[in-house]
Amino acid sequence: EAEVAQSPRYKITEKSQAVAFWCDPISGHATLYWYRQILGQGPELLVQFQDESVVDDSQLPKDRFSAERLKGVDSTLKIQPAELGDSAMYLCASSSWTDLSYGYTFGSGTRLTVV
């Protein structure tokens, strides 16, 4: 079964350091999402890509967060500098509405701890 790949699974970083997460969506999925999930809450959208273009980044803290999907395939989410409040699970998802058997598929996530 096709999967959304994310790495790393766990990341511990000191505040003020830079950190990056990587996501490889299901092959052929044009839409890619990054969500942040704070412990005990539901995921919230950070950024949505359609191919290589940003569709929605209204909730992305642009002073410290950046996201790119240069070739419209895999994507990188970066935080610089990291703050204690950034500790969360970062989830990547992809979707294809031409194939409803998939809908939205999530990766296993990256658990970030900022110390």
Chain residues binding other proteins by CB under 8 A are 4, 6, 30-31, 33, 35, 40-45, 48, 50, 55-56, 89, 91, 93, 95, 97, 100, 103-109, 111
User: Cβ of residue 99: shortest distance to other proteins, in angstroms?
Assistant: 12
User: Cβ of residue 15: shortest distance to other proteins, in angstroms?
Assistant: 22
Determine the Cα–Cα distance for residues 28 and 95; give it in Å rounded to an integer: 9
Determine the Cα–Cα distance for residues 95 and 102; give it in Å rounded to an integer: 7
45/81 with CB nearer other proteins: 45
Q: What are the angstrom distances between the C-alpha of 58 and each of 18, 29, 46, 54, 75?
A: 22, 22, 7, 10, 18
